[in-house]
Amino acid sequence: MENRKDLQKLKIRQSYLKDENRARDVNKRKSKGFLTARENIENLCDIDSFLEYGSLLIAAQRTRRSIDDLMANTPADGLIGGIGTINGSHFNEFASKCMVMSYDYMVLAGTQGLANHKKTDRLLQIAQKSLLPIVFFLEGGGGRPGDVDYYPISLGGLNLTTFAQYAKLSGKVPRIAIVNGYSFAGNAALAGCSDVIIATKNSSIGMSGPAMIEGGGLGSFHPSEIGPPSFQVPNGVIDILVADEKQAVEVAKQYLSYFQGSIKYNECENQESLRNIIPEERKYAYDMRKLVNILCDKNSVLELRPNFGKSIITTLIRIDGRPMGLIANNLKHLGGALDSDASDKIARFLQLCDAFGLPILSLIDVPGFMVGPNCEKTAMVRHASRLFIVAANIDVPIYSVVTRRGYGLGAMALAGGGFYESKFTVAWPSAEFGAMGLEGAVKLGFRKELEAIQDENERIALFKKLLKEAHEQGSAFNAASVLEIDEVIDPIDTRKWVINANSTYPEQSYKTRNGRYIDAW
């Protein structure tokens, strides 16, 4: 059997795919400190679980190159794809099967050719029919002008279905983009259509590469100048920045795990430390990220877009092993006030959680929405309103916990549009409430009385007296006494409230949901 000619022919064809038989290309890759596409897939998938589709594909250049040349130099037409198991040691086979695709930069700079578009469409079709999550390595230079076999069937390749097909999977299956090196044009467009972009510090992501920019008369640039992390992290394009491809794969595994179900794990920090994390002096700030890490299961927090919309924290978490989304105010930026970027960041995160059935925990310490002429220049009215619209139309529950300040429209938005929109709205004893910040409320509400006092010391004394009264009036205990909130709780009981609420909301898989699409932004 081993001498059968057909099997020998298969082994010869398969030999072109192996990294060990592509020494020149691999060495060039290694000189940059990068891994090969096959190494990345091997690191991502469980051992021996990856089954490749379309491996014998070659570039659509038969009319200008020999078959031997194409087999040797365009293996798989620069796109490796198939089904593998990810996180199989934690989840069952049904939950851990994934579609994995990777452009191979060692083949024509990872460009998108006619044949590999056909392969991509086939793999996406399989992912859609089986509802498989997608992990896509998207390094590459975009469209490939060198493929000539399709003429005169097509002129510009504008009748491709790849982009629409991938976009239609938004909200249906989790889609993870991993970018290392250069990702331009079509490759970048697929990254932007993904739910999350995990990118290395060596990445550059742009809607066109240097050649197209120069051809358009817009100047000459090195690829590294087009969309580096210094641009794409603070502007929100990159969700998670990592050091290298190995870390990108590990983060992808963790991100995917939140959509694969619960685990039997409930270790957490000593919850008693939550009692003292908020200073008794109400003007002093505290570290909300530290609070989040104490509250959630150990090693379960994965933050998205930490350097965009910095006044809000959006993270995937687990509590008692159950995956959830969490939003929380970051007091170290704008005092936690919601500006346009923060509003967009929350709205999109709510869509992500809603699409895949993750309940949302909202930790509220907010002075409100940002105000003022400069803020309004950013279209604040529309961005703030978007948050209300998205929050009002999600199906997953929001659990609201006011840790300190619950002021105005900002607090209402973070609770889903109002305190009665949440499945529960509770407050820690440190919380205070008002239609706006208490200092501002006193200055506006008692302007005449304050201005009538000529003596500055007397005026300050009256202001302090009125502020103290407002603080007492707006305390969590008074809010609870009129049922503006459901309960005032000891901080150490926060996890109990979340676990209890989750017990009445059956865990849902994205496989059983008809998720709405998730905005790219």
Instruction: Please report, in tens digits, the pLDDT of each residue of the chain (521 residues total).
Output: 567 899 999 999 999 999 999 999 999 999 999 999 999 999 999 999 999 999 999 999 999 999 999 999 999 999 999 999 999 999 988 889 999 999 999 999 999 999 999 999 999 999 999 999 999 999 999 998 888 886 555 656 678 899 999 999 999 999 999 999 999 999 999 999 999 999 999 999 999 998 888 888 999 999 999 999 999 999 999 999 999 999 999 999 999 999 999 999 879 999 999 999 999 988 889 999 999 999 999 999 999 999 999 999 999 999 999 999 999 999 999 999 999 999 999 999 999 999 999 999 999 999 999 989 999 999 999 999 999 999 999 999 999 999 999 999 999 999 999 999 999 999 999 999 987 777 776 777 778 888 888 888 888 888 888 777 777 788 999 999 999 999 999 999 999 999 999 999 999 888 888 778 999 98
Strand 79-85 and strand 97-103: the pairing is antiparallel
Q: If residue 105 lies in a helix (H) or strand (E), which one and from where to where?
A: none
Q: Are 323 and 263 in contact (CB under 8 A)?
A: no
CB atoms within 10 A of CB 129: 8
CATH architecture type of domain 5-257: Alpha-Beta Complex (3.90)
Where do the structural domains in the chain lie, given as residue ranges?
5-257, 271-431+475-507, 437-474
Q: For residue 145, what is the enclosing H or E element? A: none
- Give the long-range contacts of residues 167-172, CB within 8 A, separation 24 or more: 167/193, 167/517, 168/128, 169/124, 169/127, 169/128, 169/134, 170/195, 170/355, 170/517, 170/518, 171/351, 171/355, 171/515, 171/516, 171/517, 171/518, 172/128, 172/131, 172/355, 172/510, 172/515
Q: How far is CA 161 from the centre of its chain?
A: 25
For residue 152, whether the previous peptide bond is cis, meaning omega lies within 30 degrees of 0, is: yes
- Please give the sequence-ordered ranges of beta strands (E in DSSP) within 41-116, or none if there are none: 51-53, 79-85, 97-103
Structure token pair of residue 43: 């690191």
The amino acid present at 364, given as its one-letter code, is I
Query: Does 271-431+475-507 match 5-257 at the fold level?
Result: yes
Kindly provide the residue ranges of all beta strands, DSSP E only, lying in 261-301, ordered along the sequence: none
Q: Which distant-in-sequence residues (6+ apart) come within 8 Å of 94 by Cβ?
A: none
If phi over 0 gives left and psi between -120 and 50 gives alpha, with beta otherwise, what is residue 388? alpha
Topology annotation, domain 271-431+475-507 = 2-enoyl-CoA Hydratase; Chain A, domain 1 (3.90.226)
Report which of 131, 140, 136 is spatially closest to residue 106, judged by C-alpha positions: 140
Q: Closest Cα to residue 251, out of 43, 3, 38, 2?
A: 43
State the DSSP code for 314. E
Count CA within 13 A, CB hemisphere, residue 144.
26
**Could you tell me the two tokens for 114?**
């006619």
Q: Tokens for 69, please give them.
A: 């040349």
Long-range contacts of 39-43 (CB under 8 A, 24+ apart): 40/102, 40/137, 40/178, 40/245, 40/249, 41/80, 41/84, 41/100, 41/102, 41/137, 43/245, 43/246, 43/249
- Quote the pTM value: 0.94
Cα dihedral: 6, 10, 13, 15 (round 10)? -130
- Beta-strand ranges (E) seen in 189-310 are 196-200, 204-206, 240-242, 302-304
pLDDT tens digits, 230-258:
999 999 999 999 999 999 999 999 999 99
